[in-house]
């Protein structure tokens, strides 16, 4: 993952390229080259690119990793107060708790619309196949966090233990195959 210092380094090189294109454009106007207006366009583009890279170098990138969280996919996100993630059927209670915390961290955004609510609700679900050709969604838990505070200490995690009990139990065969 790129860091802020990487972006500042790229901005420095892009700035040098911008000055080079600017010098070439100035020289093209003095010598009345046919590509002088194209060089002005290239200089303008490089100026915008340099500004963007410099700005990315100022913004700190923080990505918190919660120990014990499993990989998940976001299957629904309203962009406001509701989101749904999908987790594997082999998840345990402790992994689900960590994964819900990770999802609450990953899906936080200042730009979410609150509309009369101040909490983001993220539900975790999996898909069971009770018989061939039949898929059954099963909600395993949810987390509610603030829409406005990144470091929310008041996150409410709720596990649906009845639904967790419906998950298939790992057999010794599958654990030895996975190990």
Greater pLDDT, 18 or 4: 18
Contact in structure between 91 and 159 (CB atoms under 8 Å): no
Residue 60, C-beta contacts closer than 8 angstroms, at least 6 positions apart: 4
Residue 179 has pLDDT above 70, yes or no: no
Beta strand pairing call for 136-146 and 119-128: antiparallel
Q: pLDDT tens digit string along 107-165?
A: 888 777 767 778 889 999 999 988 898 988 999 999 999 888 778 888 899 999 898 88
Q: pLDDT tens digit string along 163-172?
A: 888 888 876 6
pTM: 0.64
The closest alpha carbon to 125, from 146, 99, 104, belongs to 99
Would you call 7 exposed, middle or buried from its count of C-beta atoms within 10 A (0-12, 13-18, 19+)?
Answer: buried
* Overall average pLDDT of the 45-73 stretch: 88
Q: In the chain, pLDDT over 90 holds for what percent of residues?
A: 52
| Residue 35 φ then ψ, to 5° | -95, 15
pLDDT of residue 142: 94
Contact in structure between 113 and 79 (CB atoms under 8 Å): yes
Distance CA 69, CA 28 (A): 58
Q: In the chain, pLDDT over 70 holds for what percent of residues?
A: 92
Mean pLDDT, rounded, of the chain: 87
* Overall average pLDDT of the 69-93 stretch: 91
pLDDT of residue 152: 80
């Amino acid at each position: 993952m790129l860091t802020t210092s990487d972006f500042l380094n790229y901005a420095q090189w892009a700035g040098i390229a911008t000055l080079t294109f600017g010098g070439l454009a100035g020289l093209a106007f003095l010598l009345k080259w046919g590509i002088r207006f194209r060089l002005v366009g290239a200089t303008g583009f490089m100026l915008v690119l340099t500004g963007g890279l410099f700005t990315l170098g100022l913004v700190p990138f923080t990505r918190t990793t919660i120990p014990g969280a499993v990989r998940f996919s976001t299957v629904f996100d309203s962009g406001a107060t509701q989101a749904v993630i999908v987790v594997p059927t082999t998840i345990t209670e402790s992994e689900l708790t960590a994964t819900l915390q990770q999802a609450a961290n990953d899906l936080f955004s200042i730009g979410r619309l609150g509309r009369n609510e101040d909490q983001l609700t993220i539900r975790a679900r999996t898909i069971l196949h009770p018989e061939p050709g039949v898929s059954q969604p099963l909600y395993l838990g949810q987390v509610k966090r603030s829409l406005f505070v990144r470091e929310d200490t008041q996150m409410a995690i709720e596990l649906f233990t009845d639904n967790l009990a419906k998950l298939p139990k790992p057999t010794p065969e599958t654990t030895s195959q996975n190990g």
